[in-house]
């Protein structure tokens, strides 16, 4: 199993677990909260069949990567991506982020530029700026995030159960587009996330990405479910075309947050059309 060292904490190395498959133009898939790189299992086969080299990794604190006590902010997350990109010497890569992973894509391009990047994909996006303020009235109230952190501290497994119910809109799509077993799989993966990472990731969601978005200089695809309950489309995806040059928004009708799973055929079609 390959690992890349991204830092140290006290006596131990901090490492990212990654997987690197196929040949061709590289596509880096960056996962959402609170999952890992394996959550792209419905995207990996069609991307490989289309002739792409596909790289997934587990964010620090998640999956099989190290679980340090610090670094859960987007400046650090983006620096981790840069170490991965440089170590693997990826060029002309497509950066594809889902949910929390869209923050890495956005901060990476805003900080390090597009020297190694040819295209960007923001699926179920976190940007531009999630926190509601007087100057950002389309955002979400601070109290929502305070309650999330309180729920994580009170009973992390129970929080994940409720989270995934809305992640998939299970009350509407359960038994048709997503099974109970698929939700259970995600819950099991989430339990392996560091408790510190689970809690400390929440403030990172409130970072302001608007300046980063203005620096995008690569074609960008935005994909989002219209019925996204985790990151409402009016606060996120529908705001992005006005902020990103050369961008296109694809809205998936009846789609929940995780359209990568529930609407994989539609999602993969839009993704491959954009990448090829």
Taking only the tens place, the pLDDT of each residue in 218-252 is: 999 999 999 999 999 999 999 999 999 999 999 99
Q: Please identify which of the residues 31, 194, 228, 247 carries the catalytic annotation.
A: 228
**How is residue 150 written in tokens?**
């309180």
Q: Which residue range(s) make up the domain with 32?
A: 3-275
- Torsion on CA atoms 71, 76, 77, 79, rounded to nearest 10: -140
**What CATH number does residue 88 fall under?**
3.40.50.1820
7: left (phi over 0), alpha (psi -120 to 50) or beta: left
Q: Where are the alpha helices (DSSP H) in the chain?
A: 44-49, 74-87, 101-112, 142-154, 156-167, 170-173, 180-191, 195-204, 210-213, 259-262, 264-275
What is the pLDDT, as a whole number, of residue 34?
98
DSSP symbol at 177: T
Report the alpha-carbon distance of residue 93 to residue 72 in Å, rounded: 24
Q: Please identify which of the residues 65, 66, 79, 99 carries the catalytic annotation.
A: 99
| Long-range CB pairs of 154-160, under 8 A, 24+ apart, other chains included | 156/191, 156/195, 156/198, 157/187, 157/191, 160/34, 160/187, 160/190, 160/191
21 catalytically annotated: no
Q: How many domains does the chain have?
A: 1
pTM summary value: 0.97
257 catalytically annotated: yes
**How is residue 238 written in tokens?**
């529908």
User: What are the residues whose beta carbons fall under 8 Å from the beta carbon of 49, sequence distance 6 or more?
Assistant: none
What is the pLDDT, as a whole number, of residue 1?
64
Give yes or no for a contact between 212 and 109, defined as CB atoms under 8 angstroms apart. yes
Q: Are strands 53-57 and 26-30 parallel, antiparallel or unpaired?
A: parallel
What is the pLDDT, as a whole number, of residue 112?
98
Walk along the chain (276 residues) and give the pLDDT tens digit of each residue. 699 999 999 999 999 999 999 999 999 999 999 999 999 999 999 999 999 999 999 999 999 999 999 999 999 999 999 999 999 999 999 999 999 999 999 999 999 999 999 999 999 999 999 999 999 998 999 999 999 999 999 999 999 999 999 999 999 999 999 999 999 999 999 999 999 999 999 999 999 999 999 999 999 999 999 999 999 999 999 999 999 999 999 999 999 999 999 999 999 999 999 999
Q: What is the 3-state secondary structure (H, E, C) of 214-257?
A: CCCCCCEEEEEECCCCCCCCCCCHHHCCCCCCCEEEEEECCCCC
Burial (CB < 10 A; 0-12, 13-18, 19+), residue 29, is buried
**How is residue 97 written in tokens?**
């982020």
- Residue 131 backbone dihedrals phi, psi, to 5 degrees: -80, 130
Report the alpha-carbon distance of residue 15 to residue 1 in Å, rounded: 12
- Residue 35 backbone dihedrals phi, psi, to 5 degrees: -100, -155
Q: Please give the span between the terminal C-alpha atoms of the chain, in angstroms, as a whole number.
A: 30
Q: Please identify which of the residues 79, 194, 212, 257 carries the catalytic annotation.
A: 257
Burial (CB < 10 A; 0-12, 13-18, 19+), residue 270, is buried
| Secondary structure of residue 131 in the 3-state scheme | strand
């Amino acid at each position: 199993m390959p690992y890349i060292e991204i830092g140290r904490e006290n006596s131990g190395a901090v490492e990212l677990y990654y997987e690197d498959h196929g040949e061709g133009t590289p596509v880096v898939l960056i996962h959402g909260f609170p999952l890992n790189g394996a959550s792209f299992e419905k995207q990996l086969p069609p991307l490989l069949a289309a002739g792409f080299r596909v790289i997934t990794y587990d964010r620090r604190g998640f999956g099989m990567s190290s679980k340090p006590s610090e670094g859960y902010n987007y400046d650090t997350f983006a620096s981790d991506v840069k170490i991965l990109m440089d170590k693997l010497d990826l060029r002309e890569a497509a950066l594809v982020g889902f949910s929390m992973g869209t923050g890495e894509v956005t901060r990476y391009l805003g900080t390090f530029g597009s020297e190694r990047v040819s295209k960007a994909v923001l699926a179920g996006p976190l940007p531009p700026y999630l926190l509601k303020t007087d100057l950002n009235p389309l955002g979400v109230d601070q109290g929502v995030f305070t309650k999330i952190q309180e729920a994580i501290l009170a009973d992390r497994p129970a929080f994940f159960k409720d989270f995934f119910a809305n992640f998939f809109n299970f009350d509407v799509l359960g038994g048709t587009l997503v099974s109970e077993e698929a939700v259970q799989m995600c819950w099991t993966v989430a339990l392996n996330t560091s408790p510190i990472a689970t809690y400390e990731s929440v403030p990172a969601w409130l970072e302001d990405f608007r300046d980063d978005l203005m620096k995008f200089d690569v074609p960008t695809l935005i994909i989002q479910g219209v019925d996204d309950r985790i990151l409402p489309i009016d606060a996120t995806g529908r705001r992005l075309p006005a902020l990103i040059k050369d961008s296109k928004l694809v809205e998936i009708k009846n789609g929940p947050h995780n359209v990568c799973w529930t609407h994989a055929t539609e999602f993969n079609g839009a993704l491959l059309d954009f990448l090829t």
